[in-house]
Chains A and B, each alone.
Chain A
């Protein structure tokens, strides 16, 4: 037994040294040994092979999932007025006043049924469907035995992911977080000087790099000349809390958020020692003026880092960008939009907070293949003359959606939990009543 223990301890020491030298040190200093690149190449080749195999097997049968990324139905986008006119054309023009017909219901019932079969909003709060299976159990909806080779690869994948990669990643994540807390606290002891700022940035980026390795993240940054500068606000679409790690791998930002207790609280307090972040107490968040003022103060101080904000306010599944809350666009600072798009083949990055807790989400991330994403830095935008905050927010949102290849929606991400406001229904009713009774008023005695 003794020997076994010694062997285990010895093995763990080797394991740790390997990790530090092969992964941590390169991560800390920003160079790469090519291990992760090799892994990614093997992974891509394997997935391509698996896709071909699956397609070959199903080529002679109807593929059920070919249109997974397309809609189930084709919708006509005629306006209410146009379609109701068409319906009414079939009967003679009514006598004076009052224009309601039994056929009006056709339009509304059809629209209603269409939205039951497929709508733009509810699908955004669950994970994106894959076009082809990526050899993960969790994305496998109907397991069929295709071939021995495929099953073997799948089994091997499970072993690699759960027994090799997951422990490795968990170790890295723990080291990364611990180092973040210790490093930032240490830097906090220094007096304010350019050395302090430089060190603080270095510590932050280093820790985020380690965390990124802890998730096997392969990030491509585009248009880095547009990187957010000090005194500005960086806005991005929100898919997961890991967005922060992704963005902070390439630069330093000031975070905005609520003060938490527990582990998060420790991290927050440590971080704020080395460079100013904007943490709010829960009560303070309700006060819009206070929030705006603090953000304004931060932005106006040109020595402080750019603030990172996710205006959607909630996580959505990375197929669309939902309504941006106007708060950050009222401050009058330069906005630096950033688009983030994850590749779902390698792992589903979306955090479905109603389905998974933070811990189970992180474990799922660590047992995926990898986290591959593209980050585009867009040119800075300013609020224009005569443009109000909402219009400005929509303009920025469209730019981000366009760059990331995402659908630009006007719906509020808050609909994940809350019901849609009655006012939207009232709008429709008003529109319709103009058509029905609007004529009446023009013909009134």
Chain B
């Protein structure tokens, strides 16, 4: 046990992060190496430009929202602990945890759903409005479609989920519309030990 912790000494708050997120020491180390590789100007944080240097990410239709998930509103840089916390959402749900903390674990199905919900709900008001859904579609489809087509696609998807017809999709409605999906499988990354 001794040598494990000592090698993480240069990573700030490594032990707390491990407790909080459930990542093993090996994972934290590898993520830290990755973080440092991405942090080109060695500022101790990742900015927009650092994310944009990943070619595979830039080709993703919703890259700006994914980057936005790391950079909380008002901040333009994400530090290592926040970086790891976001990634913790994508751990498999059934990964072993030593302690059960009082707050829900990052990789619970609900937290995973919340992550995607926030990708849609950009103004963080707890509801997805029609405008917000339209914005997502415009980003993903690059507004190549005429507005009408986009509107009708959006309407249909909205009607499916908006059960109480109040022109907004709440988190519970969101959850309900996806209840048949195996969230933990679809929203997990296969971290190798």
Interface residues of A (CB under 8 A from B): 58, 61-62, 64, 67, 70-76, 87, 90-91, 94-95, 97-123, 126, 142, 144, 411, 415, 419-420, 424-430, 432-433, 436-437, 440
Known: A142-B7, A433-B141. A105 touches B120 (CB 8 A): yes
Does the CB pair A72–B56 fall under 8 Å?
Answer: no
Residue of A64, A107, A425, A433 touching B63 (CB-CB under 8 A):
A425
Does the CB pair B55–A102 fall under 8 Å?
Answer: no
Complex contacts, B51 vs chain A, CB 8 Å: 116
Q: Map CB proximity to A onto B19-60 as digits: 1 under 8 Å, 0 otherwise.
A: 000001111011100100110000000000001111111111
Does the CB pair A74–B190 fall under 8 Å?
Answer: yes
Does the CB pair B53–A122 fall under 8 Å?
Answer: yes
Complex contacts, A426 vs chain B, CB 8 Å: 142
Does the CB pair A437–B153 fall under 8 Å?
Answer: yes
B84, chain A: closest CB distance, angstroms: 11
Residue on A nearest B174 in the bound complex, by CB? A102
Does the CB pair A113–B34 fall under 8 Å?
Answer: no
Residue on A nearest B188 in the bound complex, by CB? A110
Residue of A107, A119, A433 touching B144 (CB-CB under 8 A):
A433
Interface residues of B (CB under 8 A from A): 1-4, 6-7, 10, 24-27, 29-31, 34, 37-38, 51-63, 65-66, 69, 86-87, 90, 115-116, 119-120, 136-137, 140-142, 144-145, 149, 152-157, 160-161, 169, 174, 177-178, 180-181, 186-193
Known: A122-B37, A425-B59, A428-B60. A110 touches B189 (CB 8 A): yes
A309, chain B: closest CB distance, angstroms: 25
Does the CB pair A119–B55 fall under 8 Å?
Answer: yes
A132, B63: Cα distance in complex, Å: 36
A167, chain B: closest CB distance, angstroms: 33
A430, B137: Cα distance in complex, Å: 12
Does the CB pair A97–B4 fall under 8 Å?
Answer: no
Complex contacts, A116 vs chain B, CB 8 Å: 38, 51, 54, 57, 66, 87
Interface residue SS majority, chain B: helix
B189, chain A: closest CB distance, angstroms: 5
A58, B1: Cα distance in complex, Å: 11
Given contacts A99-B153, A100-B154, 14 further A-B contacts (CB under 8 A): A64-B4, A98-B157, A103-B181, A106-B181, A106-B187, A108-B61, A109-B65, A113-B90, A114-B189, A144-B7, A428-B59, A429-B61, A429-B142, A437-B149
Residue on A nearest B193 in the bound complex, by CB? A67
A433, B56: Cα distance in complex, Å: 19
Does the CB pair A109–B115 fall under 8 Å?
Answer: yes
Residue of A112, A142, A420, A425 touching B10 (CB-CB under 8 A):
A142
Known: A64-B25, A73-B191, A98-B153. A429 touches B141 (CB 8 A): yes
Does the CB pair A109–B66 fall under 8 Å?
Answer: yes
A436, B156: Cα distance in complex, Å: 12
Does the CB pair A87–B192 fall under 8 Å?
Answer: no
A111, B58: Cα distance in complex, Å: 11
A111, B61: Cα distance in complex, Å: 10
Does the CB pair A121–B153 fall under 8 Å?
Answer: no
Residue of A64, A97, A425 touching B152 (CB-CB under 8 A):
A97
A113, B70: Cα distance in complex, Å: 10
Residue on B nearest A58 in the bound complex, by CB? B3
Residue on B nearest A70 in the bound complex, by CB? B192
A433, B51: Cα distance in complex, Å: 24
Complex contacts, B24 vs chain A, CB 8 Å: 62
